């Protein structure tokens, strides 16, 4: 008898039934999911069922999330410090981030917005109108980045409406969508969604994927549909201890991206989100991985290794002169794009 089609997993009881958690951890994990949302898409549920630890660790809650270090923040990259209107972050002069929804098809256990994703739905009509008015009235804005949550969870009609509004603003030359949908819910990448993406003349998609096991047959087909539609594809990957902190694992992922016409763009140092210390590597460890990759893969396969400076000062490459070793082991001096200097210390739990 064929196996019944899987649906998204959203409860601790389902985790127990899948035998992904057991015993004394169940009580702790119930505490975890009261604060940090749980959702594993059908596609990733199927992929985890194949036994890949690199996926299970990303999506299945752990009691380790109850450990919150003193350095960890509810808004680690400082979105709220640069928010002129609800849902809109204006950190750099020429681009803004527009969080159009707080929903995702999966809730990653290391997410830097884990305090808010899953806690609400769409950005309200009044807030969206105010955000669009702000963009319309600010001609320095050349680029709008749709994020959330995941903007590709929106209905095609709603996504088209946002893109059409942005297309009417002559100064908005580029729209980026940051999304996990093509890999975690590839069934969404249908003709209606692809047609909606055509509502703005320059739409780019930045795919979030951290492990080659996420690139299932369905995911590869979805990325092929986007590529065939002429939509440029970049990737962003988070460096995660126990998931991809291995040069060969990263090399396999980046080579896989290129085969799918996805250019590796960013490798992010894991942000200081609350309850994520078990995922975080040291900066030196990340630099060693990048050194191991250089020469092992072509330049086209190498992303830029970056860190978002805590507090809202923007991201910088993890390289001199932006990141320099401090006088103490594990201490670094980070220089932001304005020239400001910030002390960063590897958290004690990072290895």
The 10s digit of each residue's pLDDT in 190-240 is 999 999 999 999 999 999 999 999 999 999 999 999 999 999 999 999 999
- Residues 89-108: b if buried by 16+ CB within 10 A, e if exposed: bbbbeebbbbbbbbbbbbbb
Is residue 270 among the annotated active site residues?
no
Cα–Cα distance between 174 and 142 in angstroms, integer?
7
Question: At residue 2, does pLDDT exceed 60?
Answer: no
For residue 4, what pLDDT band results from cuts at 50, 70 and 90? low
- Lowest-pLDDT range of 1-10, 164-173, 197-206, 334-343: 1-10
Is residue 308 among the annotated active site residues?
yes
For residue 347, what pLDDT band results from cuts at 50, 70 and 90? confident
Q: What is the pLDDT of residues 143-192, one digit of tens each?
A: 999 998 999 999 999 999 999 999 999 999 999 999 999 999 999 999 99
For residue 54, what pLDDT band results from cuts at 50, 70 and 90? confident
Phi then psi for 109, rounded to 5 degrees?
-70, -10
| Nearest by Cα to 32 from 70, 65, 9 | 65
Question: At residue 269, does pLDDT exceed 50?
Answer: yes
* Contacts for 27 with CB less than 8 Å, ≥ 6 apart: none
Q: Which long-range contacts (CB under 8 A, 24 or more apart) does 192-195 make?
A: 192/156, 193/152, 193/156, 193/159, 194/225, 194/226, 194/229, 194/231, 195/156, 195/160
Question: At residue 6, does pLDDT exceed 90?
Answer: no
Is residue 92 among the annotated active site residues?
yes
pLDDT score of 350: 58
pLDDT score of 1: 35
pLDDT score of 159: 98
Cα–Cα distance between 174 and 172 in angstroms, integer?
6
* Contacts for 216 with CB less than 8 Å, ≥ 6 apart: 43, 46, 47, 183, 186
In the chain, % of residues over pLDDT 70 = 97
pLDDT score of 348: 75
Mean pLDDT of the chain: 94
Is residue 332 among the annotated active site residues?
no
Q: Are 266 and 306 in contact (CB under 8 A)?
A: yes
pLDDT score of 117: 87
- What's the order of all strands across the beta sheet hosting 341-345? 323-325, 331-335, 341-345
Cα–Cα distance between 298 and 190 in angstroms, integer?
32
Is residue 176 among the annotated active site residues?
no
- Lowest-pLDDT range of 20-24, 75-79, 269-273: 20-24
111, 150, 176, 344: the catalytic one is 111
57, 91, 109, 188: the catalytic one is 91
Which tokens in the block code for residue 67? 């450990």
31, 52, 67, 95: the catalytic one is 95
Is residue 344 among the annotated active site residues?
no
pLDDT score of 121: 85
Question: At residue 79, does pLDDT exceed 60?
Answer: yes
13 versus 117: the higher-pLDDT residue is: 13
For residue 349, what pLDDT band results from cuts at 50, 70 and 90? low
Rounded alpha-carbon distances, angstroms, from residue 311 to 78, 205, 333? 5, 26, 14
Rounded alpha-carbon distances, angstroms, from residue 305 to 268, 319, 351? 6, 8, 18
The alpha carbon of residue 119 and the mean position of all alpha carbons in its chain are separated, in whole angstroms, by 17
For residue 294, what pLDDT band results from cuts at 50, 70 and 90? very high
Cα–Cα distance between 341 and 323 in angstroms, integer?
10
28, 30, 31, 92: the catalytic one is 92
Q: Average pLDDT of 79-83?
A: 94
Q: Average pLDDT of 297-317?
A: 97
- What's the order of all strands across the beta sheet hosting 233-238? 88-92, 95-99, 143-147, 174-179, 203-208, 233-238, 263-268, 304-308, 315-317
105, 150, 308, 346: the catalytic one is 308
Question: At residue 8, does pLDDT exceed 70?
Answer: yes
What is the pTM for the complete model shown?
0.95
- Lowest-pLDDT range of 104-108, 113-117, 217-221: 113-117
Beta carbons within 10 angstroms of residue 23's beta carbon: 7
Question: At residue 277, does pLDDT exceed 90?
Answer: yes
105, 150, 245, 271: the catalytic one is 271
């Amino acid at each position: 008898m064929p196996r019944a089609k899987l649906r998204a997993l959203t409860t601790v009881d389902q985790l127990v039934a899948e035998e992904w958690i057991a015993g004394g951890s169940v009580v702790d994990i119930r505490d975890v999911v009261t604060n940090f949302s749980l959702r594993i898409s059908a596609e990733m549920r199927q992929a985890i069922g194949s036994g890949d630890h690199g996926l299970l660790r990303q999506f299945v809650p752990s009691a380790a999330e109850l450990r919150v270090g003193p350095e960890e923040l509810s808004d680690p990259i400082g979105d709220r410090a640069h928010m002129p209107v609800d849902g809109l972050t204006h950190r750099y002069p020429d681009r803004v981030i527009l969080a159009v929804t707080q929903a995702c098809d999966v809730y990653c256990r290391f997410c830097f917005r884990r305090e808010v994703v899953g806690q609400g739905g769409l950005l309200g009509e009044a807030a969206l109108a105010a955000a669009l008015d702000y963009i319309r009235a600010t001609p320095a804005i050349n680029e709008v980045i749709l994020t959330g949550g995941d903007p590709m969870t929106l209905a095609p009609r709603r996504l088209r409406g946002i893109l059409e509004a942005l297309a009417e603003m002559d100064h908005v030359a580029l729209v980026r969508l940051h999304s996990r949908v093509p890999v975690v819910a590839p069934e969404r990448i249908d003709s209606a969604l692809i047609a909606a993406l055509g509502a703005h003349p320059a739409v780019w998609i930045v795919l979030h994927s951290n492990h080659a096991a996420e690139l299932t047959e369905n995911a590869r087909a979805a990325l092929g549909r986007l590529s065939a539609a002429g939509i440029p594809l970049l990737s962003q990957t988070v460096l995660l201890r126990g998931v991809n902190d291995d040069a060969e694992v990263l090399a396999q992922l980046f080579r896989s991206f290129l085969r799918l016409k996805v250019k590796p763009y960013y490798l992010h140092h894991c942000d200081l989100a609350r309850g994520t210390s078990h995922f975080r590597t040291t900066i030196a460890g990340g630099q060693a991985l990048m050194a191991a990759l250089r020469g092992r893969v072509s330049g086209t396969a190498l992303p830029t290794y970056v860190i978002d400076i805590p507090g809202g000062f923007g991201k910088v490459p993890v390289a001199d002169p932006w990141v320099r070793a401090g006088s103490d082991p594990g201490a670094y001096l980070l220089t932001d794009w304005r020239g400001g200097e910030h002390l960063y210390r590897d958290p004690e739990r990072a290895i």
